Structure formats: structure tokens, C-alpha cells
Structure 1
């Protein structure tokens, strides 16, 4: 069987200042002018920290295929609405019930799942 990999195809990476405690592989959100920080639970993420320097700068992948940590149930291959899980990864956005809107997730294309990580297209 042929091996297929999607990691970093079409990667768009930018350097940001950071707030809070970020680790390599954490999803991030814009927290201020030219600045990213950790996402809260149910937050809308803008990318993944590829590297975090001691001087407070981070390389963040904001587009293309990227690997994210996944928690919870319901993330499957295909189009999935994702939100930050508050611990550096993502989870499936909760659907609305009884006419309420639910969580405002980001629709991503999930192309690969492996253990507690997934490759998505942003």
C-alpha cells in the first residue's frame, strides 16, 4: 500500500509575538496587535505554533495542511467544525440544541487521524 502524507503541504507560516504560555504544537488565537496566545476552551484558533523562541516570538502556521492535537469524540475524516479544547489542541464543536446556535467552530477538512492527532486543511 502506498504511503501518503499531507503534513505542511501549502504551508503559510508567519512570525508573531506571544502572550501566555505556548508550546510547540499548540493551537493559537490572535490576542493583540501582531500577537498570538493560547486558545481558551471553545475558542476559534488561527493556526498552530511550530516553534516558540525564548525571546517571545513564535513561528505560527496559519494555512495549508497542518497537524493538530485532538481531544474528545466526533472528529472524523471529512469536513468538521472544530474549536480549541483549552489545552493546546482541538475538538469537535458542540452542535446547537433546541434551536440554539451551539459553538461557533471553524470548518476544517480532516484528511488523516492518528491516535490523538489529526492532519487538517485550514
Structure 2
């Protein structure tokens, strides 16, 4: 366990309407005008749901945050990532978007949105 925390630095959040399947902590994508939903595997993310209640979600759209990871190993530095289809992100050299990865843990990573 690290004594350094990057989470919450520069956090920018916005409220969106959301689909019923959205859960706090998962990456989400735009599904309509001002609406977010779960991302399919390989999808681009809009941000990370901080909360979801009564058809609305607070979504972190900027700053440093922790996301779950699956698949190939990711190393700190710039990496192309996309949604993994289960609420986290995965390495995606072919179709991903480049993010700065600050820390990699066994089940997650800290990235800059």
C-alpha cells in the first residue's frame, strides 16, 4: 500500500441523467443528450460514475481517479485504454484513447481523465 494518494486531484464532476444499470465506480459513456450508461467493451469513456440515484449520476469528467482494470498489464506512463465492458478499463493499443496512468495496482489503476 502506497503512502501517496493521487485520487481526487483536480476532480471535475457533472450531473447526468443515467440508465438504470449505472453503478458508482464504473466507467460510463454518453448514450444520449446529457445521458450516460455503461460502456461496451472497446468503448470510449465519458468519465467515472461517483454516484447513481433516481435516474441521475454524478460523473467525474476530469482530474485524477481510480478505475478498475482487466486484461493485459498496463504500466505507468501514457497508455491507450478503452472500456472493458464490465465497468473498468483495459489496454487497447488499436482503438483506445491515450491516458496518463499514474499508478497500477493489482485490480485497478489511477489515471488522469
The bucket for the TM-score relative to the shorter chain is over 0.9
Which consecutive residues of structure 1, in runs of 5 or more, have no partner in the other structure?
Answer: 96-101
Q: Distance in 1 between matches of 2:79 and 2:107?
A: 16
Q: TM-score, normalised by structure 1?
A: 0.87
C-alpha displacement of 1:3: 2.1
In the alignment of these two chains, the number of paired residues is 112
Match in the other structure for 1:116:
107
Match in the other structure for 1:90:
89
Larger radius of gyration: 1
Q: Secondary structure at the match of 1:51?
A: strand
Q: Is the 8 A contact 2:20 2:55 kept in 1?
A: no
Q: Distance in 2 between matches of 1:114 and 1:91?
A: 13
Q: Distance in 1 between matches of 2:31 and 2:71?
A: 25
Residues 2-50 of structure 1: CA deviation (Å, up to 9, x unaligned): 8211001000000000124011111000110110000000000010000
Superposition misfits of 4+ residues, deviation over 6 angstroms: none
RMSD (CA atoms): 1.2
Which consecutive residues of structure 2, in runs of 5 or more, have no partner in the other structure?
Answer: none
C-alpha displacement of 1:76: 1.0
Q: Distance in 1 between matches of 2:58 and 2:20?
A: 15
Match in the other structure for 2:52:
52
Alignment of 1:67-82 (within 5 A): 67-82=66-81
Q: Secondary structure at the match of 2:41?
A: coil
Residues 61-80 of structure 1: CA deviation (Å, up to 9, x unaligned): 00000110000113110000
Q: TM-score, normalised by structure 2?
A: 0.94
